[in-house]
Amino acid sequence: MLSALLLLVATGCSIVSPTASAAGEPVWPPTPSPTSTSAPTATPVARRAPVVVLDPGHAVDESGAAAHGVVEKESNLDMAVRIAVLLRTRGVEAILTREADVRAAPPGEQPTRTDGYGGTRNDLQARIDIANAARADLFVSLHSNGAGDPSVRGYEVYYNAQRPFAAESQALARALLDGVTAALGAEGYPTAARGVIDDTCLKAFQGRCFPLFVLGPPRVTDRDEVYRRGGTPEALGFAPGQQTITSRATEMPGALVELLFISSPEDAALLRNEGARNAMARGVAYGILDHLASKGR
């Protein structure tokens, strides 16, 4: 899947363990200890619920990795819906950048479906814009991987070390990795954590480093590069005579999760398994909740 993401283009930390209800269901966050009745009562302060934008990668003609009965764009959306349900039951406002097999677009606007490079970049920019417009606390992009070697397996999480909030993005990525590790391990599903990865130079081309588009800093693109990539400058918003255009980057910490390798028969089998999918969704949700809790949210 990394090849499809070129354009988009660990030490572990412990996840806070949820407590259990009488029915055995996990309760998040853990119930605080009761305070003394003699303690003074503070006036409640209204606080905005945390906002997390979930970004199901790929859509329509850009389907991502596909093999062994799994199509990435479909798997990503299904996973985002599962995670959103879990977050919402814990008081988090979860927003999806897309809720169907369409290009992402701001609320109330029709998706832009331009072919090739321009269409994909506009789609990715719209995902970023949705997160910024929502004033999200966190941005989490959901994907699955692919490789030429079918023996390659596991899950990994990317962040960008060049952002102003790089340390928090890295902490989020570690929480997500640990959450998935704990959830899959608890259910006995065999696969491997491949680590937290800085995507700053995920691709190098002509002496220039390219990170994942949805995680990286603003990107300056000139007309010649658009033509080389098979796009149309005007479709990306170039005005007549304008030589460069600068993308808008996310304004909050973020990470991109690669949930298993669709190219691996064993990993693809897990992606087709309801129990494993639920476990991964719980892992991502608990990673997000753990990170929010660490920030007092």
Examine the pLDDT at 146 and tell me if it is beyond 50. yes
Examine the pLDDT at 47 and tell me if it is beyond 60. yes
Q: Is residue 25 part of a domain?
A: no
% pLDDT > 90, the chain: 64
Q: Is residue 42 part of a domain?
A: no
Q: Is residue 35 part of a domain?
A: no
Q: For residue 207, what is the domain's CATH number?
A: 3.40.630.40
Give the pLDDT confidence of 220-229 residue by residue, as tens digits: 988 988 888 8
Average pLDDT over residues 97-106: 87
pLDDT for res 31: 42
Q: How many domains does the chain have?
A: 1
Q: Is residue 22 part of a domain?
A: no
Q: Is residue 20 part of a domain?
A: no
Query: Which domain, by its residues, includes 218?
Result: 2-8+48-294
Pull the structure tokens for residue 203: 């691709």
Taking CA 152 as the corner, what is the angle to CA 181 and CA 80, rounded to the nearest 5 degrees?
A: 50
pLDDT for res 203: 84
Q: How far is CA 209 from CA 196, 217, 236, in A?
A: 19, 12, 21
pLDDT for res 122: 86
Pull the structure tokens for residue 24: 């055995």
pLDDT for res 234: 83
Write out the DSSP string of the chain.
-HHHHTTT-----PPPPPEE-TTS-EESSPPPPPPPTTSPPPPP---PPPEEEEEE--BTTB---EETTEEHHHHHHHHHHHHHHHHHHTT-EEEES-SSSS----TTSPPP---HHHHHHHHHHHHHHHHHHTT-SEEEEEEEE--SSTT---EEEEE-TTSTTHHHHHHHHHHHHHHHHHHHHHHT----EEEEEE-TTSEEETTEEE--TTTS---EEEHHHHHHTT--GGGGTPPTT--EEEPPPPSS-EEEEEEEETTSHHHHHHHT-HHHHHHHHHHHHHHHHHHHHHTT-
Q: Could you tell me the pLDDT band of residue 118, with boundaries at 50, 70 and 90? A: confident
pLDDT for res 133: 95
pTM (2 d.p.) = 0.82
Q: Is residue 232 part of a domain?
A: yes
Average pLDDT over residues 181-194: 94
Q: Is residue 30 part of a domain?
A: no
Judged by average pLDDT, the poorest of 23-27, 141-145, 279-283 is: 23-27
Q: Is residue 68 part of a domain?
A: yes
